[in-house]
Each structure stands twice: as C-alpha cells, then as structure tokens.
Amino acid sequence: MGSILAENPMTNALIAVTYAMACATAAVLLAMTKLASPMTCVLFGIVLVMLCGQLHASALRRREKRKIKSEIAGLRRVSQGFALALEDTHTKIDTVKTAMEASATAQSRKIVAELQLLEGLMREFATKISTKAKDVPPPEDVLLERRATDTARTYLDTLGESGLLETIRASLEENRVDLYLQPIVSLPQRKLRFYEALSRLRAEDGSVIMPAQYMKVAAPVGLMSVVDNLLLFRCVQIVRRLVQKSREIGVFCNISGDTLTDTEFFPQFLEYMHHNRDLAHHIVFEFGQDAVLKAGAQGEENLLYLASLGFALSMDHVDTLALDFGRLKTLGFRYMKVRADILMNGMTGANSTVAAEDLKKLLERHSMNLIAERVENEKEVVQMLDYSVDFGQGYLFGEPRAVREDSFKAPDKTPEKIEASAPVIPFRRAG
C-alpha cells in the first residue's frame, strides 16, 4: 500500500477516483446477482468507498509518521555530532589555556629570577667600586645636557665635583636609575618602529642626573659598567613586555665604550645575551662611533660575537663619515645614526666622500639603514625625505619618557589577567 501512496494532490485524487470506480463496480455486480435490493447495493458501494478512503488516509498518516521519525533521528545524529565537536573544541580550548597559563607563569618566574640577578650584580659592582670612586678625583668641566631642568642644574652645581661623584655612586648603590624610552619612527609614514632606551640617575632629592653629567665622572672610575648593567637588564624586561603587544617593535640599547672593553663585565654581558638570544630581532645594541673606532681586537671580537647571536648593531655620535663601511657590515652594524644638522649642512665637516642625498645609497650597499637623529622641526623632516632617510628620531617625534618602576616588577596577577594587561607600556613624563 505504501508504494502507491503519494504526497501529490493530483495523484491522491486519481487514487480516490479509482477507489470510487472499484466500489461502484462492486455495487453493480452485487445488484446483478439480485442478492440485495438496489438501495442496499448503493449503500454498500458508499460504505465501501468510505472504508477505502479511511484505509488510504491511515496509510498516509503512517507514512508521515515514519518520515517524521526519520527526520528526528537525523536531527538527533546531527545534534550528537555537534555536541561531540563542541566538546572537542572545549577540550582544545582548555589545552591552549593551560599552555598559556604555564607560559605566563614561566615568564613571570623568569622575570623574577632576572630581577634578583640584577640586584645581586648591581650590589656586587657597587661594592667593588665604592672605595675606588671615593679616592679618584673626578674630571673638571662636567657638561650639562641642554634639556636638564634649571632646578636640577642648581642643585647639582652646589654639590661640587666630589659631591657629584658621591651622589652618582649612591644613586647606583640604591638603584636610583631610571629607564627612559624615546620613539624612533619610519619615514615618511612616521610609524613607531623602535624605542631608544636611555638611562637617567636620580639624586637623593629627586634631581635628574643626565648622561652628559654622569658619564664624564662615572667613566674614569669604572662606574659605567654598573650603569650599562642596569640598562641592559631593564631593556630585556621592557622588550619582553613590548613583544607581547607587537612583534614589530624593537629597542635600541646603548652600551658605552668603557663597557665594551671591560674584561670583567663584558663576558658576563655576552653570556647573558646568549641565554636571551630569542630577543635578537627586538634588541639593537648601540655604540658610539668613537667607542667602535677604539674597540681594538678584543672589542671587535665582542661585537662579532653579538652579531653571531643574531643581534643587530647601531652606531651613533657620528662625527666623521670617512669610514670603512664594509668592515662595519662585517662587524654586524645594520643602523647608523647621523644628526639632522650634518645632513642639512651638506656633510660639511663630516669628511664624507658622498653628498647627503647619496649617503642612503652608500649605506644600502652595505646593508645598513640610515636614521636621522635630533630632528626637531617639520622643515628638517622635508629635507630628510629628500635624502630618502629610513627613520627619524628627535623631539619632533617624541621626547624621552620614563618607564614606571612597577613595569619591572613581576605582576601579582593570574596568567589570564597578565595576558590582558601586559602589553600596555606605562609612561610618565621625564623630569
């Protein structure tokens, strides 16, 4: 019966007509046998038609029920499959979450360990040079950086030369060393690409001691290794936080010439960077031109080792462009900073063999990028674009800003919260 059932209304109508004809034929045959009266035969035919209709309707309902049951079973299978897929997705999410928590916890532990190592090394260096710093007279004519505040200048001048040296020594022993970051942007887009990390010391009253002030006094008595040591560790910490936010951001970390040739500190420095070579694409070590030219065989060997770890090098404080650029490339230098005023003055006094507009091409041939530093107005920017300068740095693009001290502390948060908050690099204004 099920095979002749159909959902098409026309087909059902034809089936009904067939039933009626069959029943009418049965009624006529019954009348011909004269076993019943004509009226009885008509009633028989009508009843037979109704019975066939009921049977057909019943068959249609059974078929519809089977179809509905089949659809429900299909939906149940789909639902079960979706539930299994959802459960599998939850399992994968839990696995990833567990891995992220473990990674964040390991990162926090590494930060704590590095900070503890930093404190230990800082105390060790401070103890070694404390007596020596008191006995060695500082040089005269300590230069003041032009951005130093009038308040700081007055206070530090009242200390005298021996007092300034004692203040510097105390600042290092008591960890009053601040990390400042100044942006370096790409040109012409002015997109933030790097920060330069700078150190500032604080006197007991909060006065800021600028590099031009403390370097003249600290270098002769062996204190620059302590300053660079602090800067290095803090650069590593801030880079790890910056990387969580954007893998395109890097940090230029300054290393003094005294540190480069320090036979006690630099091997420790190289060992530390060997263990942190995963940051090679995010830290650029910067050395002054004079330090590089006077590095000697041991200094150049140290530079080559840094480059072998994958770290790029940068040269700043460039006074002369009469350089062996091929040698610089071999040592690992990939960036060169030239003051905007040198470029704008036609390279006068820089002993350059090429014009300002050709310097970029010269550096390109030796796989080096040109950074114009001390850019302070829009007129200089226009000129730098004419010279195809890669990057710009200066007060026009942003002043150095101090990183808050709590940026170097291990966060007392769950790993989930660390992920949400770590990319934010807090700043406070210099001074």
pLDDT tens digits, one per residue of 210-254: 887 778 777 777 778 788 888 888 888 888 888 777 677 899 999
Q: How far is CA 273 from the centre of its chain?
A: 19
Output the pLDDT for position 149: 43
pLDDT > 50? residue 419: no
Does 79 score more than 60 pLDDT? Answer: yes
Q: Band the pLDDT of 153: cuts 50, 70, 90.
A: low
Tens of pLDDT along 324-379? 999 999 999 999 999 999 998 877 778 888 888 899 999 999 999 999 999 999 99
Whole-model pTM above 0.75?
Answer: no
What is the 3-class SS of 307-348, one letter each residue? HHCCCEEEEECCCCCCCCHHHHHHHCEEEEEEEHHHHHCCCC
Higher pLDDT pick, 53 / 141: 53
Pick the residue with more confidence: 410 or 237?
237
Angle among Cα 32, 37, 42 to the nearest 5 degrees reads 80
Q: Which two tokens stand for residue 338?
A: 């030239």
Selection from 221, 284, 283, 229 nearest residue 256 by Cα: 229
Inter-residue contact 180 to 130 (CB < 8 Å): no
**Alpha-carbon gap, residue 284 to 39, rounded angstroms:** 113
Cβ(126)–Cβ(172) under 8 Å? yes
Question: Rounded distance, CA 142 to CA 155, Å?
Answer: 14
Classify burial at 230, counting beta carbons within 10 Å of its beta carbon; exposed 0-12, middle 13-18, buried 19 or more. Answer: buried
**CB within 8 A of 219, min separation 6: which ones?**
256, 258
3-state secondary structure of 122: helix
CA distance 259 to 227: 9
3-state DSSP call for residue 209? Answer: strand
Q: Are 171 and 177 in contact (CB under 8 A)?
A: yes
Q: Tell me the mean pLDDT in the region 404-429.
A: 40
* Closest-CA residue to 341 (of 401, 369, 383, 386): 383
Lowest mean pLDDT among 210-224, 316-330, 389-403: 210-224
| Number of helices (H), then strands (E), in the chain | 14, 11
* Pair 247, 143: CB distance under 8 Å: no
Q: Which of 27-36, 236-245, 375-384 is the most confident on average?
A: 375-384
Task: Give the CA dihedral 237, 241, 242, 245, nearest 10 degrees.
Answer: 170
| Mean pLDDT (whole number) for 283-291 | 94
Looking from the CA of 299 toward its CB, the CA atoms found within 13 Å total 19
Find where tokens 């040269």 sit. Answer: 315
Task: Locate 107 and state its tokens.
Answer: 């990162």
211 or 189: which leads in pLDDT: 189
Break the chain into its structural domains and give their ranges: 2-82, 100-429
Provide the pLDDT confidence category of residue 429 given band limits of 50, 70 and 90. Answer: very low
Residues 6+ apart with CB under 8 A from 378: 396
pLDDT at 128 over 90: no
The torsion angles phi and psi of 303, rounded to 5 degrees, stand at -65, -40
Which pLDDT band holds residue 424 (cuts at 50, 70, 90)?
very low
| Better pLDDT: 45 or 345 | 345
Cα 377 from Cα 165, distance rounded (Å): 36
What whole-number percentage of the chain has pLDDT above 90? 27
Q: Rounded to the nearest 5 degrees, what angle is found at the Cα of 124, between the Cα atoms of 121 and 125?
A: 90
Distance CA 425, CA 239 (A): 10
**Which of 312, 293, 284, 300 shows the shortest CA–CA distance to 351?**
293
Question: Percentage of the chain with pLDDT > 70?
Answer: 74
> Which residues, 6+ apart, have CB-to-CB distance to 231 below 8 Å?
177, 179, 197, 199, 253, 254
Looking up tokens 């790097």 gives 194
pLDDT over 90 at 288, yes or no: yes
Which fold would CATH assign to domain 100-429? Answer: TIM Barrel (3.20.20)
**2-6, 214-218, 280-284: range with highest mean pLDDT:** 280-284
Which amino acid does the sequence have at 157?
D
Looking at residue 121, what is its pLDDT?
Answer: 58
Distance between start and end Cα atoms, the chain: 96
Q: What is the mean pLDDT of residues 22-46?
A: 72
